[in-house]
Structure 1
Amino acid sequence: MARSGGTAGRQGDAAKLNRGFGWIAVLGVILVVAGLTGLVYTAVATLTTMLLFGWLLLVGGLVGLLHAVQARQTNFFWLGVVVAALNIAAGVVVIKTPEAAAEALTMFAALLFLTGGVFRLVGSMVVRGPQFGWTLVQGAFGLLLGILVLATWPSSSQYVIGTFFSLSLLFDGLGLIATGYGGRRVVGMVAGR
């Protein structure tokens, strides 16, 4: 009698796990669809990303200000107020001028690609470690990507941020689908024993 109750409990737990992994896969499908849509409409994805970023800065600044007010008896009160005010100001600027913010962020990303590419190239030549070939390819790719983005800047700012964000959504979604599908398979294998 106790054995059948234990089996029923395990089957119920397996069903709950299956549902959980199913929801993870559904979220993955939603992210994949959003990522593919963003890759088709990169300008809209860039604008949406910048507005979302602006709102996150604004809300984060307001929460930081509330936290600073609650901790006003500490030595870090004014630092918290200054950081919160900077976040609020940056959020307002990004929300009011998302195109200019996208141009600035695209320039920053291009400079990061350039410097990262140069450091990887030089580092791979100097160190010549076991990953020499991969580091060399990564450096060359980063350098090339930075040059391509800068060569078409500021027009590249209309699609660069949206493309990166959409690719991130796409790959995160594929990862969640794989996790959900793999998790369901493992639960099925364990529950079948």
Structure 2
Amino acid sequence: MATDISALHKSEIARMRNRFRAVGLVFAVLGTLAIVLPSVATVLVEEFIAWLMLLWGLAGLLFARSFKAFSEWRIVAVGFAVVAGTGLLFVLVPGWGASFITAILVGVFILEGVLSVLLGLRMSGQLEKWQWIVASGACSFILGIVIMLQWPSTARWVLGFLTGLNFFATGIAMLLVSRATLARISR
């Protein structure tokens, strides 16, 4: 059940504002660092994902063993072994994970771009401002093409840069929410 902010006491609202501000500052600083040092951020993100995949795969293998009574348990075990093996490969050979993830991002951006352009064009007679959907799709498509044309060199920085942008935007959003909360308290 959602809490109505007007029912909260001013001290609770102030605590909430301070939390939003603290988390927002951390995210904004981490995002800024990742944007300024995208190669370092790419390595950190890649290693984090690699270790998560390795642990996920190992946990999944343990989980699959508990299903030996079912004939499909081998398929589940093979799937988790692939995840664990991929994670291990990314841990042992830094750079491969970033290249792999960047290649997937390129495919996602291009596919999302094409689908958004097609959707926008399809909606042109039915939706006001449909051009924004087409413009968004064109941006995604162009971003995917630019990253692809510069690949594999983009693999060294794209993941960190995009993560940085995401962190920065999240941090700014939280700071703006804390500021709006401050305005609410002073009323």
TM-score, with structure 1 as normaliser: 0.79
User: Does the alignment pair 1:179 with 2:174?
Assistant: no
Q: Which of 104, 109, 112 lines up with 2:105 in the alignment?
A: 109
Q: CA RMSD in A?
A: 2.5
Query: How far is 1:126 from its partner?
Result: 3.4
Partner of 1:31: 27
CA distance in 2, matches of 1:20, 1:177: 12
Partner of 1:153: 151
Matched-pair contact (CA < 8 Å) for 2:34–2:40: yes
After superposition, residues 86-105 of structure 1 pair within 5 angstroms as 86-105=82-101
Matched-pair contact (CA < 8 Å) for 1:22–1:181: no
Matched-pair contact (CA < 8 Å) for 1:121–1:135: yes
The runs of 5 or more residues in structure 1 that have no matched partner are 1-9
Give the counterpart letter for 2:56 in structure 1.
G
Q: Which of 60, 64, 83 lines up with 1:64 in the alignment?
A: 60
Matched-pair contact (CA < 8 Å) for 1:65–1:85: yes
CA distance in 2, matches of 1:125, 1:91: 40
Partner of 2:47: 51
3-state SS of paired residue (2:151)? coil
Q: Which of 2, 7, 22 lines up with 2:18 in the alignment?
A: 22
Summarize deviations over 1:31-56 as a string: whole Å, max 9, x none: 10010011111111111110011111
Higher mean displacement: 33-42 or 66-75: 66-75
The runs of 5 or more residues in structure 2 that have no matched partner are 1-6
Matched-pair contact (CA < 8 Å) for 2:50–2:97: no
Query: How far is 1:72 from its partner?
Result: 5.0
Residues 184/87 of structure 1: CA separation in 2 closer, same or farther (3 Å cut): farther
Give the counterpart letter for 2:151 in structure 1.
W
Residues 183/63 of structure 1: CA separation in 2 closer, same or farther (3 Å cut): farther
After superposition, residues 138-149 of structure 1 pair within 5 angstroms as 138-149=136-147
Residues 18/73 of structure 1: CA separation in 2 closer, same or farther (3 Å cut): farther
Select the structure of larger CA radius of gyration: 1
